[in-house]
Amino acid sequence: MKHDDHDDFAVLVGARGSITSVEAGRPDAVPDGVLEAAGRLAATGHGDTQARFVWVGDAASERYLVTVDVHGSGPRRTADVSGRQAFQLPFGITVRELDVLSLVAIGATNTEIAGRLFLSTRTVTTHVDRIMRKLGVSHRTSAAVIAAEEGLIRLPFPGGEDGFDALRLGRQLSGRDAAPGPATEVISWPRLTRTPLVVGAALPLRGWAAADGIEMARATQLAVEEINARGGIDGRLLSMEIMDVDIMDVDSVRRTFTELTERDVDVITSGYVPYQDVAHDIVADSGIPYLHAATMAAMERRVLDDPVRHARIFQVCPSDRHYAPRFVEEMTALRDRGEWVPSSDRLAVVMSPWAMDLQASPTDLGVAEAARLAERHGWALELVQPMDHSITTWAGVAERIVHSEPAAVMLGHYLVDGTAAFLEAFHRAPSDTLVYSIYAPSVPAFREQLGARAEGLLWATVTGTYSDPLARAFVAKYTSRFGVKPGRSHAGIAYDRVRLAASAWSQVANPRDRGAVAIELRHSAVRGVNGAYWFDNDSQTALSYTNRTMDPSLAQAHLVFQIQDGRQRILSPTPYADTVFRPQPWLTRTAGTRLAAS
């Protein structure tokens, strides 16, 4: 929750607890109790005294994260005091849990805490369990160490000052820690091993999309291993919670995302899920930052309609509504440059059965915009809906295309099996139709299944792995680690998702402050192997170059590939292209025109 700058403060306080100068904020914003505590620290401390605590006053707005630094010596000691208003406390703990944690930090038992706070022992036990879950620890001692290290001690001390001299803050305030000298006691704290930051991932490891899901899992693992090899995030290593999900089963989607939220992971990631609306609802309720790669304009609209509820949900790839317009633009460019001789002025878009399933989140390939764009460029756009009453198989779709012979057809289908089935049927007796697919050929299994029959195919993706040095380094590391090359889309984006989360965690004061992490995710631009990620827009969706911006440093290029000599080559856009168009072998008019020209 956003706080107003004028509620924060930075002041200089003398040994008598009075403000001697104001660096930021209003002097009347500083609670009297904070001034008193700072004065006591200045009066009794020494030049290297620093203290951190949470001040909780009577009003709900009077909650501050306070830092006090004492400078000077003798009567000239002063204290720099800064306070940030905290509508939400670190780790998501409540004020009552802060009371309990402060008493845990001095070694009080549950029974002792209950007596001091006038609670039942059972209630205190519940609070302690919740605190340890939020802190990610399993022992009271670890919780006590975190409380002391992170300044999670409440002032005024809950239940009175008795016993708080066990903490350095208590001794500082009482004057018992006034100056350095011979050690009179040794406080031996166990070494704290910071709890790992957990990347939760809902991925299809079996079924239709398993080839993609396995790539996503491997790329996630690779990114985690690389970050851990460099020491993690501020001493915290990363770990993974990867859960198998049947993306075509709404009950499986509901179970998987519910369990991930209940495991209290630090970020949730996923690939494409037809029932994305179900995932959105579950994650929104949890407050866990969510990085998903479902290319759905419908999910953009969901965030736009309720930005507060979905403030921590980010779509890490541009939306599906760019696919059909990009198809029209590419066909127009090939025609106008004379690289392709169309057989007619008609273009066709085949809608995926997934897109037509009204029980799932609707897929929008941008057909309406493509139709308007086609008309401006002298095309007529035809929409083909497979699996209706007249077409029951992908072979039937291919037969219709061969019979009607549009100049070009876009297969608006994401999965390998359907796209491969169309091409196998089309190749039996192809028409003079340029074939252009989306996404499915990015998966290595596609070319393994089709072999030479994939040669010449054009295909596009709103998020693809580039061919630049950064991407080539990723491909080399992935290949070395797993013995196979990654595909050209979701492996890269799964790798980038972990790095996006890690970048945000490394920039915030507390990586388990989910609100702060979400704010950092929104406002930072990060360059990955699939392009640039920048979510500072109303739908918190990655931008598309060149569809939504002409600045490639803030967007992901909508890449058009062609399979040439068995390799994936980038045809457009500039500056990422590394090849030129080759006419597909079955395009008779184009081949004849080139032969005549030669």
Is residue 405 included in any domain, yes or no? Answer: yes
Residues 415 and 298 in one domain: no
Residues 291 and 380 in one domain: no
Task: State how far the Cα of 322 lies from the Cα of 294, in Å rounded to an integer.
Answer: 13
| CATH number of the domain encompassing residue 11 | 1.10.10.10
Task: State how far the Cα of 237 lies from the Cα of 585, in Å rounded to an integer.
Answer: 52
Residues 309 and 425 in one domain: no
pLDDT of 136 reads 84
Residue type present at position 475: V
Residues 381 and 528 in one domain: no
Taking 60 as the threshold, does the pLDDT of residue 598 lie above it?
no
User: CA 127: distance to chain centroid?
Assistant: 30
Question: Phi and psi at residue 195, in whole multiples of 5°?
Answer: -65, 135
Is residue 16 included in any domain, yes or no? Answer: yes
Residues 495 and 571 in one domain: no
Name the DSSP class of 91.
G
**Nearest CA-CA partner of 301 in 290, 282, 315:** 315
Taking 90 as the threshold, does the pLDDT of residue 286 lie above it?
yes
Contacts of 388 (CB under 8 A, 6+ apart): none
Task: State how far the Cα of 527 lies from the Cα of 487, in Å rounded to an integer.
Answer: 19
DSSP SS3 for 409: strand
Residues 401 and 425 in one domain: yes
Looking at the structure of the chain, the number of domains it has is: 3
* b/e 72-101 (16+ beta carbons within 10 angstroms → b): eeeeebbbbbbbbbbebbbbbbeeebbbbb
- Quote the mean pLDDT of the chain: 88
pLDDT in tens, 81-122: 988 888 788 888 999 999 999 999 999 999 999 999 999 999
Q: Do strands 408-412 and 380-384 pair parallel, antiparallel, or not at all (unpaired)? A: unpaired
Residues 415 and 502 in one domain: no
pLDDT of 102 reads 95
Structure tokens given for 69? 């630094």
| pTM across the whole model | 0.68
Is residue 558 included in any domain, yes or no? Answer: no
pLDDT band at 369 (very low <50, low <70, confident <90, very high): very high
Structure tokens given for 368? 């309406």
Q: Do strands 9-13 and 19-24 pair parallel, antiparallel, or not at all (unpaired)? A: antiparallel
**Range in 132-146, 463-477, 530-544 the model is least confident about:** 132-146
**Residue indicated by tokens 């998966």:** 443
pLDDT of 545 reads 95
Is residue 560 included in any domain, yes or no? Answer: no
pLDDT of 5 reads 42
DSSP assignments along 334-390, one per residue: HHHTTS---SSSEEEEEEPHHHH-TTSPPP---HHHHHHHHHHTT-EEEEE-TTSSS
- For the chain, how far is it from start to end, CA to CA, in angstroms? 68
Is residue 491 included in any domain, yes or no? Answer: yes
Q: Do strands 197-203 and 238-244 pair parallel, antiparallel, or not at all (unpaired)? A: parallel
Q: Within 10 A of 396 (CB to CB), how many other CB atoms are there?
A: 16
Residues 238 and 297 in one domain: yes
DSSP SS3 for 306: coil
Task: State how far the Cα of 38 lies from the Cα of 79, in Å rounded to an integer.
Answer: 6
DSSP assignments along 178-218, one per residue: -S--S-S----PPPP-PPPEEEEEEE--SSTTHHHHHHHHH
Is residue 35 included in any domain, yes or no? Answer: yes
Asked if the peptide bond before residue 156 counts as cis, ω within 30 degrees of 0, the response is yes
pLDDT of 228 reads 93
* b/e 423-456 (16+ beta carbons within 10 angstroms → b): bebbbeebbbbbbbbbbbbbbbbbbebbeeebbb
Of the candidates 174, 206, 239, which is a domain's last residue?
A: 174
Rg (CA), the chain: 30
**Nearest CA-CA partner of 384 in 358, 361, 404:** 404
Taking 50 as the threshold, does the pLDDT of residue 180 lie above it?
no
Residues 508 and 432 in one domain: no
Is residue 304 included in any domain, yes or no? Answer: yes
| Partners of 427 in the β-ladder | none
Is residue 202 included in any domain, yes or no? Answer: yes
Highest mean pLDDT among 27-41, 331-345, 378-392: 331-345
Question: Phi and psi at residue 586, in whole multiples of 5°?
Answer: -90, 0
pLDDT of 356 reads 44
Taking 50 as the threshold, does the pLDDT of residue 306 lie above it?
yes
What range does the domain containing 281 cover?
197-318+486-537
| Partners of 273 in the β-ladder | none
Structure tokens given for 84? 């940030």
Q: Is there a contact between 544 and 300 (Cβ–Cβ < 8 Å)?
A: no
Residues 111 and 232 in one domain: no
pLDDT in tens, 311-323: 999 999 999 999 9
Task: State how far the Cα of 367 lies from the Cα of 350, in Å rounded to an integer.
Answer: 10
Structure tokens given for 588? 């008779």
pLDDT in tens, 323-362: 999 999 999 999 999 999 999 999 999 987 654 444 555 6
* b/e 259-296 (16+ beta carbons within 10 angstroms → b): ebbeebbbbbbbbbbbbbbbbbebbbebebbbbbbbbb
Contacts of 76 (CB under 8 A, 6+ apart): none
Residues 141 and 259 in one domain: no
Q: Is there a contact between 261 and 281 (Cβ–Cβ < 8 Å)?
A: no
Is 126 or 547 the better-scoring residue by pLDDT? 126
Q: Do strands 567-572 and 559-564 pair parallel, antiparallel, or not at all (unpaired)? A: antiparallel
Task: State how far the Cα of 225 lies from the Cα of 255, in Å rounded to an integer.
Answer: 28
DSSP SS3 for 304: helix
pLDDT of 314 reads 98
pLDDT of 227 reads 94
The conformational region for residue 526 under phi > 0 = left, psi -120 to 50 = alpha, else beta, is: beta
pLDDT of 596 reads 59
Q: Is there a contact between 423 and 453 (Cβ–Cβ < 8 Å)?
A: yes
Q: Is there a contact between 520 and 527 (Cβ–Cβ < 8 Å)?
A: no
Task: State how far the Cα of 512 lies from the Cα of 234, in Å rounded to an integer.
Answer: 12
| Environment class of 230 (CB within 10 Å of its CB; exposed 0-12, middle 13-18, buried 19+) | exposed
Q: What's the rounded mean pLDDT across residues 291-319?
A: 94
CA atoms within a 13 Å half-sphere pointing along the CA-CB vector of 160 = 9
| CATH number of the domain encompassing residue 302 | 3.40.50.2300
Task: State how far the Cα of 470 lies from the Cα of 203, in Å rounded to an integer.
Answer: 25
pLDDT in tens, 575-589: 999 999 999 999 999
Residues 160 and 73 in one domain: yes
